[in-house]
């Protein structure tokens, strides 16, 4: 019986040691994870200005491209309107001459 009690006591001590080691390991893992998280957060904070600058540069490039496309469309539209005005100017002159000729003719 005494051997059984000694074995139970030894097993209990061993179990307590395992629990203590597991708790210690858990604390170590938690602390490491917290340190890694803080480090990653700091790295991210240092990258924010670069991210902001990159975003502004890309936005600026898109704005320049959009403005260029709008200017091109505006010029094309202006050209089409001028051509249309020129075509209609000749038609208007022809119609005016025709009308004046009709007015000038005796009936």
pLDDT for 83: 92
50: Cα separation from own chain's centroid:
14
Q: How far apart are CA 44 and CA 25, in angstroms?
A: 28
State the pTM of this model: 0.52
**pLDDT computed for residue 107 by the predictor:** 60
Q: Which residues of the chain have pLDDT under 50?
A: none
User: Could you give the count of Cα atoms lying within 13 Å of 80 in the half-sphere of its Cβ?
Assistant: 6
The confidence score (pLDDT) of residue 105 equals 72
Residue indicated by tokens 């700091």: 42
**How confident is the model at residue 90, as a pLDDT?**
86
User: DSSP label at 107?
Assistant: -
| Calculated CA dihedral for residues 93, 95, 96, 98, nearest 10 degrees | 120
The predicted structure's pLDDT at residue 24: 97
Question: Could you give the CA distance from residue 44 to residue 36 in angstroms, rounded to a whole number?
Answer: 12
Q: What is the pLDDT of residue 106?
A: 65
């Amino acid at each position: 019986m005494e051997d059984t009690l000694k074995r139970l006591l030894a097993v209990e001590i061993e179990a307590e040691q395992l629990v203590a080691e597991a708790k210690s390991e858990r604390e170590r893992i938690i602390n490491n994870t917290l340190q890694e998280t803080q480090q990653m957060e700091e790295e991210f904070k240092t990258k924010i200005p670069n991210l902001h600058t990159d975003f502004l540069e890309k936005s600026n490039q898109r704005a320049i491209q959009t403005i260029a496309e709008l200017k091109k469309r505006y010029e094309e539209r202006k050209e089409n309107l001028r051509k249309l005005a020129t075509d209609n100017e000749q038609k208007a002159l022809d119609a005016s001459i025709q009308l004046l000729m009709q007015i000038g003719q005796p009936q």
